[in-house]
Amino acid sequence: MELSEYLADVAGDVDLAIHRYFGTPYGELAKASAHLLTAGGKRLRPAMLFLAADTVKKGAAFELMPAALAVELIHSFTLIHDDIMDQDAERRGVPTVHTLWDEPTAILAGDVLYAQAFEFLCRAPATDNARVRAVSLLARTCAEICNGQHQDMSFEDQAEVSEVEYLEMVRKKTGSLYAASASIGAILAGARPVQADALYQFGLTTGIAFQIQDDLIDLTVPSSVSGKDRGSDLREGKKTIIAIRAMEKGISLPQGPLSDDEVEKVVKNLEEAGVIADVRETAERILGTGKACLGVIPESEEKRLLVSLGDHFLERGS
């Protein structure tokens, strides 16, 4: 099976499960909680969880939909709260929760998803010890995500941000949930600690690479392809790894309102200075360290797909 087919199957299965549990919400808070969750998504974190489980024990993923829903619920919880903090008006092609309802309702909607995630995770068929380890890991991960988000926000008030600071923020804000998804799948499938740790590291590094690719997509991929506002990070003066590398090379990046032609000119300058290539190389190197961790995992079709998922994170254009 090709990765694209696998991801489509997972997304379809997760969407069916989401609509089963959240498709007919009763009451305004339930509707607000379900709004973004039922609006679609790539369901990459559930795919990471399923593949990790199946690399440990073939067929284990079949029963782990509750755990897959748990990580997707956490992801949606973070998006709802991020949209409030960033004052974004649209997400996944639909109005954000706080714009359709109000900010207090959106905060509570995210909180509901957060609580429900742990309820679903506790439903996963596994030993009590495995469930406790999985719940503990997800709780720690949520704290890491919040710390990463706060660190990201604090960058706005810093004149300079180092690459070490940036990577630490990305590790927490983005990498940690991919890491937890892989490790939780492994733990619930009965993995040995060394296997669960290896899959955690793989998820962590692929998550960091995912965010670096997001930074590249924002700047280099046309809006018609990415579905995003090209150059938004540049206009907002975000301290991305691209901006950090540009500063190291003495390149001053413009901010504020920029035309598409002006964004294109910035990209050309960064390419000529080798910044774009350097950033891509950094993402590939980080992903490579994660792949190396998988040496303790036996070869299988699921492992091949898992490695392909990591590659996909760097090859995608949206």
**CATH (domain of 263):** 1.10.600.10
Look at residue 139 and tell me if it is in a domain: no
Look at residue 132 and tell me if it is in a domain: no
The domain in which residue 216 lies consists of: 158-318
Asked if 13 contacts 65 with a C-beta cutoff of 8 angstroms, the reply is yes
Rounded Cα distance, 298 and 80, in Å: 38
Report helix, strand or coil for 227: coil
Phi, psi of 87 (to 5 degrees): 55, 40
Question: pLDDT-based confidence at 224, cuts 50/70/90?
Answer: low
HEC readout, 236-247: HCCCCHHHHHHH
Look at residue 151 and tell me if it is in a domain: no
Residue type, 190: G
Asked if 249 contacts 278 with a C-beta cutoff of 8 angstroms, the reply is no
Global pTM reads 0.94
Report helix, strand or coil for 94: strand
Contacts for 102-110 with beta carbons within 8 Å, 24 or more apart? Answer: 105/28, 105/29, 105/32, 106/32, 106/80, 106/81, 107/81, 108/29, 108/32, 109/29, 109/32, 109/33, 109/35, 109/80, 110/33, 110/76, 110/77, 110/78, 110/80, 110/81
Length of the chain in residues, anyone?
A: 318
Nearest to 64 by CA among 200, 192, 195, 185: 185
The single-letter DSSP state of residue 298 is P
Look at residue 13 and tell me if it is in a domain: no
**Token duo for residue 216:** 């590249």
Neighbours of 102 (CB within 10 A): 11
Percent of the chain with pLDDT over 90: 72
Which residues on neighbouring strands pair with residue 90, listed in sequence order? 95
* Structure confidence at residue 227 (pLDDT): 64
Look at residue 103 and tell me if it is in a domain: no
pLDDT tens digits along 58-94: 999 999 999 999 999 999 999 999 899 888 877 887 8
Rounded Cα distance, 33 and 38, in Å: 9
* Structure confidence at residue 169 (pLDDT): 96
Look at residue 183 and tell me if it is in a domain: yes
Look at residue 236 and tell me if it is in a domain: yes
pLDDT tens digits along 228-277: 677 778 888 888 999 899 888 888 888 778 788 888 888 888 888 899 99
The CA-based diameter of the chain, rounded to the nearest angstrom, is: 58
Look at residue 312 and tell me if it is in a domain: yes
Token pair 């489509």 in the structure block, residue: 8
**Token duo for residue 186:** 């492994």
Q: Where are the beta strands (DSSP E) in the chain?
A: 90-91, 94-95
> What average pLDDT does this structure show over 174-198?
97
Whole-number average pLDDT of the chain? 92
Asked if 287 contacts 211 with a C-beta cutoff of 8 angstroms, the reply is no
Rounded Cα distance, 117 and 67, in Å: 8
Which residues on neighbouring strands pair with residue 95, listed in sequence order? 90
pLDDT tens digits along 8-67: 999 999 999 999 999 888 899 999 999 999 998 999 999 999 999 999 999 999 999 999
Neighbours of 301 (CB within 10 A): 13
Q: How many domains does the chain have?
A: 1
How many helices and strands (H and E) does the chain possess? 16, 2
Asked if 204 contacts 176 with a C-beta cutoff of 8 angstroms, the reply is yes
Q: Is the pLDDT of residue 130 over 80?
A: yes
Rounded Cα distance, 160 and 170, in Å: 16
